Amino acid sequence: MDRFYVTTPIYYVNAEPHIGHAYTTIVCDVMMRFHRLMGETTFFLTGTDEHGDKIVQAAQAAGVDPKTYADRISGLFRQTWPKLNIGNDKFIRTTDPEHIRVVQDVLQKVYDAGDIYFSSYKGLYCVGCERFYTERELVDGKCPDHDKPPIEREEANYFFRMSKYQDWLIGHIEANPDFIRPERYKNEVLAFLREPLEDLCISRPVERLSWGIPLPFDRKYVTYVWFDALINYIAAVGYPDGPVYRDFWPVVQHTIAKDIVKPHGIYWPTMLKSAGIPLYRHLNVHGYWITDEGKMSKSRGTVVRPLDLVPVYGLDAFRYFLLREMVFGLDASFSEDALVQRINADLANDLGNLFSRTLAMTAKFFDGKVPPFGAEPDGMDQDLRASVDQAVRQFTEEMPKLGFHKALIGIWECISAANKYIDHVGPWNLAKDPGMLTRLQTVMRTLLEVNRTVAVLVAPFMPATAEKMLERLGAGKKALDVRIAEDARWGSLGEGTPVQKGEALFPRIESPAKKTEKPGTAVQAPKPAAEKKAPKPEPEPAGIIDIDAFRAVDLRIGLIREAERVPQSEKLVKLLVDVGEPGESRQIVAGIAKTHTPADLVGKQVVIVANLKPAKLMGIESHGMVLAVRDGQDLKLIVPEAKVTPGGRIS
């Protein structure tokens, strides 16, 4: 039987859970639910990292001892995940006796292999990261994550011979292209490995830091927090001889944010190699959530707490937004306005409308029972069935590749096709003609089958919604018990099964800005801009150009490979566009963020001006322009009528 093991990083208990933690954990939950849906046996691990300098400092600030502090914050994480419908199988703490035992066992193995030695070291130490930095790793002399200069520290400590495994690690990564995903992070690790790899300091003297796991070969030192924390992934499954370890470790996938790529992509595989433990299968790396204040960061106080949002907007809507809005691997912008737009457009208007209309018409025309297929399906029925099949294919192909937003795009294209089908066929008109009864049966049965398949496909993302849909379709199942092979099979609804119309799946929501307006408050028109002393003259009307002037503009078809919001900007998106230039994509900054999300843009073909003089927008160099047309308040991209080869020149 196929098996799947996924882990979150274990979260550091120096701060309470925020949206960054929630996103990583929900991603892992979605992955686990997908593999369960595909019939695999799964194991899902999360937990908390509780040792080190930062915990001691946080505990002192709270006026308690480190263990009491760690117990409280770890408890908050443990309590949060069920409220987000997280189905983890185990929650590990680095203060657990089983974890401490395995850490000391692995340390002894690495020590016995001759890969740990004692030496004195002087360097630049970041307390926030709890590690030493080299000069080349700093940004303007500061830690890149905490924006603070490190302190100079000299200590005698134990070191891991990480440099011994540099060439081996490079070879392993190059031989296994999907070892680190997406590719940009594989390239980032390889770029770091092009420089000489230093050995890793793996201890702290007890006289300075006692809150840690003692080294098994020298009790005067405790373990460096990363050498402690990473080992949780094998400790939790019963290393070295537990049945869960034997069954699941060979297929494990770690899922992390991009700020901890180096420990997971370099420290961890070299530690495993030294200890003689097989490597993990994949390291999955996602980007940051960006707010108006910049990168979301607990140390900078720019965080969004998920449990503040869920009661207002709903749990499944929150889960859907996170997976739909972020292209896995790239940064994404978070705002409540964007969340509301997704709820109203995708969930209320599209999915909710399809489901409500289908069940209401079934109640009206067939007494609330699943009708048989009547007349033979016609071309429109077959087209809708093809749309369903395409959604299933796209879902099963994209989910293992971390293409969550693409899987959802495929599902919503199917939902859109079903809504258009209703409008075009007009079941209410068929119901007026007794001679069209068999045709009406086929139409309504087709729509019910579409809704059932959609319910199955959204189950990993929105499990409570999927369960509600399946229950009202007369096929009640828990989301974790749904299997795509049987539950998304066309025709699997039982003829005569009662279905239940009811309240809307997703009521429409007002935007946060509108909610803050007091009733009866007049909205003032914006004040006109102050007149300039020397206003510019009105531009002359555009003149006639000849064919040579037109040919001077290099218009090409580009394929958008990557897209991400520009931090601190409401309207700019940074794109990587394939315009047919061998070996590289063109970086273009476009002012389309208010009308197009990064997730919607990836994979879209557009028209660009390829020979425009480079310009800098918000400090980012742009090498071209994406063409669009203003249509009222909307902005529509100019696209080819059919897919063409990227780089094709327009004439």
Over residues 351-398, the pLDDT tens digits come to 999 999 999 999 999 999 999 999 899 999 999 999 999 999 999 999
Q: Angle at Cα 486 formed by Cα 485 and Cα 489, nearest 5°? A: 85
Query: Domain spans of the chain?
Result: 3-295, 336-487, 547-637
What is the pLDDT confidence band of residue 548, given thresholds at 50, 70 and 90?
Answer: low
CA distance 352 to 647: 40
Which DSSP symbol is given to 293?
T
What is the pLDDT confidence band of residue 407, given thresholds at 50, 70 and 90?
Answer: very high
pLDDT reading at 36 higher than 60: yes
List, for residues 450-476, the tens digit of each pLDDT value. Answer: 999 999 999 999 999 999 999 999 988
Which residues, including other chains, have CB under 8 Å from residue 536's CB and lie 6 or more apart? none
Q: Are 280 and 265 in contact (CB under 8 A)?
A: no
What is the pLDDT confidence band of residue 76, given thresholds at 50, 70 and 90?
Answer: very high
63: left (phi over 0), alpha (psi -120 to 50) or beta: left
* pLDDT at residue number 529: 38
* pLDDT at residue number 527: 38
* pLDDT at residue number 546: 63
pLDDT reading at 144 higher than 90: no
* pLDDT at residue number 633: 66
Task: Report, at the CATH architecture level, how domain 336-487 is classified.
Answer: Orthogonal Bundle (1.10)
pLDDT reading at 582 higher than 90: no
CA distance 405 to 295: 21
Please say whether the dihedral angle defined by the alpha carbons of residues 126, 130, 136 and 142, taken in this order, is positive or negative: negative
Least confident of 238-247, 324-333, 511-520, 622-631: 511-520
Q: Is the bond preceding residue 182 a cis peptide, omega within 30 degrees?
A: yes
CA distance 381 to 186: 45
Least confident of 54-58, 63-67, 205-209, 512-516: 512-516
DSSP string, 183-241: HHHHHHHHHHHTSPPPPEE-EEETTT--SSPEETTEEEEEE-HHHHHTTHHHHTTTTTT
Backbone torsions φ then ψ of 573, nearest 5 degrees? -125, 135
What is the pLDDT confidence band of residue 512, given thresholds at 50, 70 and 90?
Answer: low
* pLDDT at residue number 303: 61
Helices within 574-618 (DSSP H only) = 598-601
Least confident of 14-23, 132-141, 188-197, 255-264: 132-141
* pLDDT at residue number 285: 98
Average pLDDT score over residue span 64-74: 96
Residue 87's nearest CA partner among 1, 6, 3 is 6
Residue 402's nearest CA partner among 290, 256, 288, 564 is 256
CA distance 612 to 592: 18
Residue 634's nearest CA partner among 597, 576, 594, 588 is 594
Which DSSP symbol is given to 511?
-
Backbone torsions φ then ψ of 629, nearest 5 degrees? -125, 135
pLDDT reading at 26 higher than 80: yes
Give 90 or 570, the one with higher predicted confidence. Answer: 90
pLDDT reading at 519 higher than 60: no
* pLDDT at residue number 540: 42
pLDDT reading at 346 higher than 60: yes
pLDDT reading at 272 higher than 50: yes
Q: Which residue has the tokens 């929900």?
A: 26
pLDDT reading at 650 higher than 80: yes
Give 291 or 350, the one with higher predicted confidence. Answer: 350
* pLDDT at residue number 532: 38
* pLDDT at residue number 468: 96
The answer to whether domain 3-295 has CATH 3.40.50.620 is yes
Give 123 or 80, the one with higher predicted confidence. Answer: 80
Amino acid in the structure at residue 489: R
Q: Which residues lie across from 42 on neighbouring strands?
A: 4
What is the pLDDT confidence band of residue 525, given thresholds at 50, 70 and 90?
Answer: very low
pLDDT reading at 312 higher than 50: yes
CA distance 392 to 601: 21
Give 66 or 127, the one with higher predicted confidence. Answer: 66
What is the pLDDT confidence band of residue 110, given thresholds at 50, 70 and 90?
Answer: very high
Domain topology for 547-637: OB fold (Dihydrolipoamide Acetyltransferase, E2P) (2.40.50)
- As annotated, the active-site residues are 18, 21, 126, 129, 143, 146, 295, 298
